[in-house]
Amino acid sequence: MAAAASTIVAEAKKWQTIYPAYINSQKTVQEGRRVPKSKCFENPTITQIAEACRTLGLSVVIEGNKIYPKDTLEYGRVKVQLKKDGVPVLPAIPSKRRLMLVLAEEIQKQPPVSSSSSSSSSSGFSSPSPQPASIKSKKGRKNK
């Protein structure tokens, strides 16, 4: 089982990379948006992108620990198998640009994310990672 998973990860290195910023309507072209704003979706997540790819019938690997180079605070990317042996997996999606346009449309068709996650925090947003432990004060230490 582990060998099969490592084979998929090795193959995924050759697949197309999709960052959420590519189809985010809140981003500018300079910030990494690659699709016209009119077709974009507001703040897409990697799970929404992966789900849209699976709906289309494409193989997907989610890499949640990867950082978008243009915005180091934005984590996650999706690797998509667009071609197999140089031939498009889906003839209707021959290029990465076409994939991004179709993804934007598919994500807009998906039902909105349930409000249960937003109701869990009173401030309206939640932190993606736990807060670091408090730093001990240097009280009582001698300065060199």
Q: What is the pLDDT of residues 66-103, one digit of tens each?
A: 999 888 888 999 999 999 988 999 999 999 999 999 99
pTM of the model: 0.71
pLDDT score recorded for residue 72: 87
CA angle at residue 75 from 86 to 50, to 5 degrees? 45
The whole-number average pLDDT for the span 9-29 is: 90
Mean pLDDT, the chain, whole residue set: 80
Alpha carbon distance 75, 67 (integer Å): 5
Decide if pLDDT at 127 tops 70: no
Decide if pLDDT at 128 tops 50: no
pLDDT score recorded for residue 119: 40
